[in-house]
């Protein structure tokens, strides 16, 4: 999966999801990943 991610925004989402899944659970990481990806796509936040 990491090889397909070329933009900085996509890598940020993947790393945040990795950290959350290692600390809590996969469902929480999935939900947070969707929220962060949506916020990055709408240009509300920049990475």
Please list the alpha-helical segments (H only) found in the chain: 8-23, 26-41
Give the start-to-end residue ranges of the domains of the chain.
Answer: 2-41
Over the stretch 4-37, which tens digit does the pLDDT of each residue have?
Answer: 888 889 899 999 999 999 999 999 999 999 999 9
pLDDT at 5: 84
- The confidence score (pLDDT) of residue 47 equals 77
Q: pTM for the complete prediction?
A: 0.81
Q: pLDDT value at position 3?
A: 81
**Dist CA 12 CA 33 (whole Å):** 10
Structure tokens belonging to residue 46: 């920049």
**8 Å CB contact between 13 and 40:** yes
């Amino acid at each position: 999966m990491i090889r397909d991610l070329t933009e900085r925004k996509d890598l940020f989402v993947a790393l945040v999801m990795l950290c959350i899944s290692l600390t809590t659970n996969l469902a929480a990481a999935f939900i947070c990943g969707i929220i962060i990806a949506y916020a990055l796509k709408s240009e509300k936040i920049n990475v």
